[in-house]
Structure 1
């Protein structure tokens, strides 16, 4: 048994002399500590805008807040728990109260990673950490190796995707208490599963962020993001801001024993200083992980396709292990559905060629102009190993940002979906599934929040206006059918239906996916671990795709696929040992069947 804690330079820290409270409030002349049911105590103002007090008037479980000079009472931005939502009292938490069972766990190497993204509130009927824990065996049996949780930072209300979080250190109380989240991570490690957390460092949600009231320089008007003034990562007074986020990452990794972090939309993190905050943060994390002998993995979402963050040396990733490859998703989605609206327009003309380039080289846009965005996008990625790209056919964004949250199982032919799943799950890139995808779930995943009043109206109308440019939503009556994000029914519709997986067609898909992942972890694992940069691709006939990846030590891994709905010539076949074929033993001589894929090892 062991107990873990991350000692933070701010917030509430339990020590021998009581509880030390520390708040960065450079805009406030004085701050008072409010302990519920107890005294209101003045805090000492220190240099640099800090306010501090150590007192025995509080203990583990005490609820507290800070009083500003104008009388406004605010929660602690570094609160470890907000049991009464974002406007209520914060709770003093003793992180050492939880005894960890699986203390020998050090993680798993990146090349074993198979990600499974899920939303805690809709994954299980209970919508809790405990409800997820009860289904960890299903995930382990499926063959995923890393559970990736959508953001847990406390949000306003009881339902939210997580990207409106404002209390970055407080795991969402709607899902359970901090010790229940720790028990979930502990149980995952017991089953050999890594656990990743998604964090949002580019903005705060629209409700419940009080930093403007006492720490105005946390934000800057020098830069702007889609959410307004940017977070101040590069001003002369940015050190406390940078430390806030670096400590948040270390907190999740050290105190909750997460194995990895996914960083949301880092293209919206603007930092003109050196080192960039993403570089400094990763270097701090890497140093601590090395000192602890742990395997820690960092993953980016970066629409700018900046390969500079993914650099490697002989020991592996220097900073970030991987990036979500939206380019791959968009090309695959167009191939499967024929859709060409919105950002899919950039991929509609040559989706097969683009998919081939993504599999061989990483990004599709490596500096070319995006007609949809109106400017060049991306940096060269051909020097990166395939595993630096996280490939997927579905995720929360690509499903939930559709008007009705449709899943691919309702949009694409089953045979096409199976072929692209084989490509995604067996290629040398790092694969990711979205919850329920393993059985071909048809339940939607829709956009939901729990706002009220004018904010709720603005979100509802903004959502419908967003789709007004799509031809199918030109009619106001059609736009009115788009689900209200604030309605509880929208949230309820987004829950997985676990009975669905036992239906014959879903059971077949689950068996198929489990077979692919067994193969990936078994016979194909030594081959995939040797995949190097320098992949090549070629097309033939109407829908033939061949991709080759050189292998360290010699040899080639080859994908041969027919990603169309009619058979084509098998002229590209040139020997090699078959590792997997979707239509093994049933294809006509000299032909590749429609929607087929095979991987071969060539000496």
Structure 2
């Protein structure tokens, strides 16, 4: 692994081995900027023609500082590496070389081995609490944990997407070294760690970039979350490129999940990011870059991104299981079984056709991509947290049907992802929660009710009043996971089933994933189908799925080795697929 001392972000305060700290900020609108330390005279920075202000002088780690824009205007560092006093407070100088890594030679794991576990650090109890769960996660079969965004946000509670200091891990979760200790502990257990990063917008409170450099944002382009970031400017590009390298090289993350990249323009920056990461990170490392992309841009996956969240597969399956068709679920209302089968075989359902939700073309052809280019999930932070009551799938469908869904998820050749607590069928909601200043809390509260009023269930004022207040501490408390549930009797069967499925995946599917490709499919009835893939060794993995309430007769039966079946069934009776059941087989191409 390249030494962290060789990488120095172009923005921010960087503490050096000789005891000095370099301060650097891009502020072309100001002729003079100074570094303001407590109880000391401000130290003026030099300015170059491009608007970069810089100064280096002896300054110890642990020192609090601000940038002084005028005699009376002090702001934190937008590239601050620690905000112990929250978003409106001073920034803290961090010695990034002080932490002694126990796993300095860790290189990660191949992508085909990934089984991802999405975690909200706050709702999971903080870094130290997650460390205590790593042995159990490893024993379960998890090979990667994905942390929801860590950028410093206002207050001590936020679901993660209102961060305003992309270089500063949220102080309420622990110190920068506490975060490194979590990553180190995961690597000791052969678990990768990914970070969800938000490069498409900043949160609504504490965004000082707009205060001192308005051209950081594009006044002519809006996103769903506010003014778009101006990625045409080199200094802006550097801010986010270096942020990615900072997490990968300084904190030793194994990969990044890039949030909502469809909101980034120009899209060419995403290809530049990929190339720069390849150039600046050790080639021996397994570094994985994951996309969330509403545009279904298959070209980015062909360019080298590891995978994309397969929202189409999730949405089709959700409609099939719950019969919900409001909002974007309406795009999959016509034939969810066919859509799900297509998503399993080709990745995207929408490959250029008109989306009923937006009435615009969406997506690109993706059938040529390997199944590992897509991340499959039954639920995630969005699909739970964006629901009015934050209710999980475990509260919406029959446990037997959920078991079939888990089998499909974990034995499909696509990369599986579980949301924290899903492995034991937790019913703990994951609500939308914030802790802004009171004025903004009021706007968020009202906006949440207005957003949910578009759904028939919450269109009345009486129903809207049932929506939890995002700013209430109790809303966050209700979302906190209770890890002890895992061993409770009502959850043991689900947990053991997931563990068994991951064991089957590790033994029989992972070694065959390289060069896997789609084979065939057959639909018998709504919710009942078979789908197969040629694996890397030319054996055929075939999944027989029946979400319906009716037994299905298989005219040709199933052949090969049965890897897993969800219900007890005589192995000699291979022409019946019982209601709410799942069978996975592995056979040679000649067997039938």
Taking structure 1 as the reference length, what is the TM-score of the superposition? 0.94
Write the mapping of 1:96-115 to structure 2, written as runs, cut at 5 A: 96-115=97-116
Match of 2:21 in 1: 19
Match of 2:481 in 1: 496
What's the offset of the Cα at 1:586?
4.8
The alignment partner of 2:444 has SS state of helix
Match of 2:549 in 1: 565
Choose from 158, 167, 188 the match for 2:156.
158
Match of 1:544 in 2: 528
1:298 aligns with 2:289: yes
Provide the C-alpha distance between the structure 1 equivalents of 2:519 and 2:78, rounded to a whole number of angstroms: 47
Choose from 246, 249, 252 the match for 1:257.
252
Deviations 1:439-470 (A, max 9, x none): 00001000000012221111000000001122
Match of 2:92 in 1: 91
What's the offset of the Cα at 1:220?
1.3
The range that moved more, 406-415 or 370-379, is 370-379
Match of 1:207 in 2: 205
1:147 aligns with 2:145: yes
Task: Give the unaligned 5+ runs of structure 2.
Answer: none
Provide the C-alpha distance between the structure 2 equivalents of 1:27 and 1:477, rounded to a whole number of angstroms: 50
Match of 1:347 in 2: 332
The alignment partner of 1:323 has SS state of strand
Deviations 1:515-538 (A, max 9, x none): 001111113322333412x44322
What's the offset of the Cα at 1:570?
2.0
What's the offset of the Cα at 1:17?
6.7
What's the offset of the Cα at 1:104?
2.0
Match of 1:441 in 2: 426
Moved over 6 A (4+): none
Provide the C-alpha distance between the structure 2 equivalents of 1:356 and 1:545, rounded to a whole number of angstroms: 8
Provide the C-alpha distance between the structure 1 equivalents of 2:513 and 2:561, rounded to a whole number of angstroms: 15
Task: Give the unaligned 5+ runs of structure 1.
Answer: 312-317
Choose from 274, 282, 297 the match for 1:282.
274
Deviations 1:485-512 (A, max 9, x none): 0000000000112232222231100000
The range that moved more, 447-456 or 12-21, is 12-21
1:420 aligns with 2:405: yes
Match of 1:315 in 2: none
Tell me, yes or no, if the aligned pair for 1:150 and 1:162 is still in contact at 8 Å. yes
Match of 2:218 in 1: 220
Tell me, yes or no, if the aligned pair for 2:385 and 2:430 is still in contact at 8 Å. yes
The range that moved more, 593-602 or 202-211, is 593-602
Choose from 460, 466, 470 the match for 1:481.
466
Match of 1:81 in 2: 82
The alignment partner of 1:283 has SS state of helix
Provide the C-alpha distance between the structure 1 equivalents of 2:182 and 2:581, rounded to a whole number of angstroms: 39
Tell me, yes or no, if the aligned pair for 1:233 and 1:241 is still in contact at 8 Å. yes
Provide the C-alpha distance between the structure 2 equivalents of 1:542 and 1:267, rounded to a whole number of angstroms: 33
What's the offset of the Cα at 1:572?
4.5
1:370 aligns with 2:355: yes
Taking structure 2 as the reference length, what is the TM-score of the superposition? 0.96
Choose from 539, 554, 557 the match for 1:555.
539
Residues 2, 100 of structure 1: CA spacing in aligned structure 2 closer, same or farther, 3 A cutoff? Answer: farther
Deviations 1:131-160 (A, max 9, x none): 111111111111110000000010011010
Residues 105, 565 of structure 1: CA spacing in aligned structure 2 closer, same or farther, 3 A cutoff? Answer: same
The range that moved more, 153-162 or 586-595, is 586-595
1:129 aligns with 2:127: yes
Residues 9, 266 of structure 1: CA spacing in aligned structure 2 closer, same or farther, 3 A cutoff? Answer: same
Provide the C-alpha distance between the structure 1 equivalents of 2:440 and 2:381, rounded to a whole number of angstroms: 23
The alignment partner of 2:521 has SS state of strand
The alignment partner of 2:446 has SS state of helix
Structure 1 vs Structure 2 CA RMSD: 1.7
The alignment partner of 1:537 has SS state of strand
The range that moved more, 462-471 or 189-198, is 462-471
Residues 426, 279 of structure 1: CA spacing in aligned structure 2 closer, same or farther, 3 A cutoff? Answer: same
The alignment partner of 1:97 has SS state of coil
1:187 aligns with 2:180: no
What's the offset of the Cα at 1:361?
0.7
Match of 1:4 in 2: 4
The alignment partner of 1:121 has SS state of coil
Tell me, yes or no, if the aligned pair for 1:33 and 1:64 is still in contact at 8 Å. yes
The alignment partner of 1:135 has SS state of helix
Write the mapping of 1:379-528 to structure 2, written as runs, cut at 5 A: 379-528=364-513
The alignment partner of 1:48 has SS state of coil
Provide the C-alpha distance between the structure 1 equivalents of 2:60 and 2:511, rounded to a whole number of angstroms: 52
Q: How many residues matched?
A: 585
1:269 aligns with 2:270: no
Residues 306, 2 of structure 1: CA spacing in aligned structure 2 closer, same or farther, 3 A cutoff? Answer: closer
What's the offset of the Cα at 1:196?
0.3
Deviations 1:178-229 (A, max 9, x none): 0110011000000000000000000000011111222121111232212232
Residues 419, 37 of structure 1: CA spacing in aligned structure 2 closer, same or farther, 3 A cutoff? Answer: same
Tell me, yes or no, if the aligned pair for 1:2 and 1:103 is still in contact at 8 Å. no
Tell me, yes or no, if the aligned pair for 2:556 and 2:575 is still in contact at 8 Å. no
Match of 1:63 in 2: 64
Residues 277, 375 of structure 1: CA spacing in aligned structure 2 closer, same or farther, 3 A cutoff? Answer: same
What's the offset of the Cα at 1:589?
6.0
What's the offset of the Cα at 1:53?
1.3
What's the offset of the Cα at 1:584?
4.6
Provide the C-alpha distance between the structure 2 equivalents of 1:365 and 1:555, rounded to a whole number of angstroms: 29
Choose from 38, 41, 44 the match for 1:42.
44
Match of 1:242 in 2: 237
Tell me, yes or no, if the aligned pair for 2:410 and 2:416 is still in contact at 8 Å. yes
Provide the C-alpha distance between the structure 1 equivalents of 2:318 and 2:111, rounded to a whole number of angstroms: 26
The alignment partner of 1:96 has SS state of coil
Tell me, yes or no, if the aligned pair for 1:2 and 1:99 is still in contact at 8 Å. no
Tell me, yes or no, if the aligned pair for 1:527 and 1:557 is still in contact at 8 Å. no
Choose from 547, 557, 569 the match for 1:585.
569
Tell me, yes or no, if the aligned pair for 1:543 and 1:568 is still in contact at 8 Å. no
